[in-house]
Structure 1
Amino acid sequence: MDPHSAHLATLWHSHVSSVGGQFDAVFEDESDRVLNATAVPCKWTESDWTTASNQMATNATLGHGVIYNELAELTKNGKVISVSPIIALNQTSIGGMMEGCYLAPGNTSSSKVDGAVWAAYENTEIAMAQQHKLFFCVAGSSSDAASSVDWRTYYTASYLMPYDFGPTILGEKFATPSRFHEEPESELVATNPLVSTPSDVSSLMISPNVYGREYAACYIAGVSVGACAVAVNADAPGYTHPFPWASKYQHTLVLSGGGILDGGTISAHGPAPPKKIAGNDAVVAFR
């Protein structure tokens, strides 16, 4: 579909108007995405297509905010990887979604994102908050939530690294018996960061490939658990690095079971943090 088409804007308006019930936003999937297309439109450029998409959203006068998808389609210029150009849709949207957020999806498994891609995802989260746009950080797989604790911990630490309490939305999707995709780590809220949110995640790098952030006041299901911290070794598997705060923290996050409705639990009273963090791994620590 060509966003340059005035007819398409009219059709979009008509379709949204025909939908019954109450809703607050329109979800636009596959936004400006041509990655897996067999061919691209004539004279196609990313910037032109995005400009046309923003104009179409304006012309369609939907009466509702738009939430777009595909923030995981990053800008790649040689070895340089950065935030997706699709973020320019913020001009006419209330928010955007990143599927595979910190976890690269698979049919039955997920792999933890690391390196430059991980940093670009973190910078996307930062940019969305700076622009006051909703950021839906969605990750998971069809794997059982109870057997995916390692992935869930990595996702949680990565999500909390730069997060803004207002517009940043956690969205895990692992298999649960109840089919209710809400895991207990969603009850962990970290506040009062000791270092304010930077404009680039590189400012949170404590040692090569190890990123960390401390919070003065953390809560689980509204109950104070004191200070907490997150640390991520974004290096490749096999490259171990020291945990950044030595003996400052005495406990770690413990996740047990799967979803909240299936008996899954969360605790801030796990064992002491390891002296070293394995590559492509993370720690959530408590005082």
Structure 2
Amino acid sequence: MLSLRNLVKVYPGPVAALRGVDLDVPRGMFGLLGPNGAGKSTLMKILAGLLEPTSGEVTLDGTDIVRNPEALRPYLGYLPQEFGFYPYLTGEAMLLYLLELKGVTAPQGLKKLTAELLERVNLTFAAKRKVKEYSGGMRQRLGIAQALAGNPKLIIVDEPTAGLDPEERLRFYRLLAEVAHERTVLLSTHIVEDVAMLCPRFAVIRQGRVVAITSPTEAKAAIQGTIFEGTATAAELSELQRTRRVTQAVLFEGRNRVRIHAPNAAVPPGFERVTPTLEDAYLLLMKDPQVPSENAEPAREVAR
């Protein structure tokens, strides 16, 4: 179990990136969902031992990894948001170099382990190709291969599907799901679909605080019967955005297709009740006036 207690990070300025994060991350896949600038990458860097918190405690299976970061490294796999591969090395040479840097050992040698990891992430066919020729999804799979080396107990992946095309994203989903069967995987993302596809439970982070801990099913159930959809002109949309809680507004056949949250069921003419999505739930949490930006408030655990 990975446990965070009252984790705070203040940068010079001062800028408070984390404002007292409390979180328990169990075995399996767990999501951390929030917009850019919410504090996700700061949190990931602290957990990976790359950044010291201003205050607070982080423990992995009872070991304090803030005071003793060296205790974490043998058990950690980390895929940062941007991984600095050498473009002119082959995938095989790049992975072998990374394993050597990490100090990984293998009974049958690192070359055999490299081949096994490339096979596991479905990159054997591209082992002799230069990394500069890899697609975005292939580079992410190479990053996961190095994160898996050493059989870590904890794997941290930061925005792993940003920039991937739909096909590559689905491949990466399958790979992460397989990996999570054996260990704790913490997935940090601003993409709601990532969480919906992969995470049995997740936390929502906003302005450096965890504001909800829930599951996709629970989050949608909490707003069941309160989401309505209809069309609106530009002027009507402007009025809806001023007077209603709009969760989505997209152009469809030249008209604005609008989704609103109306818990009292008083809706504009032409709007009909629809099934809520996880994106509806997430956007409502981002707009929730009950979650202040400056005053501390504990995360809300959605009832199971």
TM-score, length-scaled by structure 1: 0.35
Q: Give the number of the structure whose alpha-carbon radius of gyration is greater.
A: 2
TM-score, length-scaled by structure 2: 0.33
**Which of the pair is proportionally richer in helix?**
2
